[in-house]
Amino acid sequence: MSLYPNAIDAFDRLAVTVFKIDTYIAILTCQPPLLRLKEIRLSSASTFALWNARDLPVWEVRKELEPSGRTKITIPQMLSHLLEAPIDNDSSSVIFLPEDAQIGFLSMFSEIWHLGEDGEYISENLNPIISQKEHLNNQLLTLKRRLDGMLSSGS
């Protein structure tokens, strides 16, 4: 096994961490985030369980359990698939993990921020704003249902 794939995974993980930190700072300071998830065209990083393996034997066991198609798609593609695919579809080629939900929630903050900012100034044509709010609400509810499904199937 070469070091090259691990270096790429580390870079992907670093980029996602920078995105998370930027969004958290934006939330705390009531400012719009500087980065948008659409700007991050990196593949989904390996799962946290694999990344956090403490030694080689643990890593080897977790590597076999790693979802195979996870690193073949970008993060925005993965989230788009998860938010648009039916929740009861078990034949999904993309595995949904708790860290994906966190990225999904944080990616919506920028849209929510800009929608709230536009809502203060636009009063004559509310239909596009209402439509965007309904779309964001549906996405948030989809993420919540997926998390609830993970909890119920895990117990």
Q: Helix-strand-coil percent breakdown of the chain, rounded to 5?
A: 70, 0, 30
pLDDT tens digits, 125-138: 556 666 778 888 88
pLDDT tens digits, 67-126: 777 777 788 888 887 777 666 655 455 577 788 888 888 888 888 887 776 555 444 555
Instruction: Please provide residue 44's backbone torsions phi and psi, each rounded to the nearest 5 degrees.
Output: -65, 135
d(CA 90, CA 99): 19
d(CA 59, CA 21): 27
Domain boundaries of the chain, sorted by first residue: 4-154
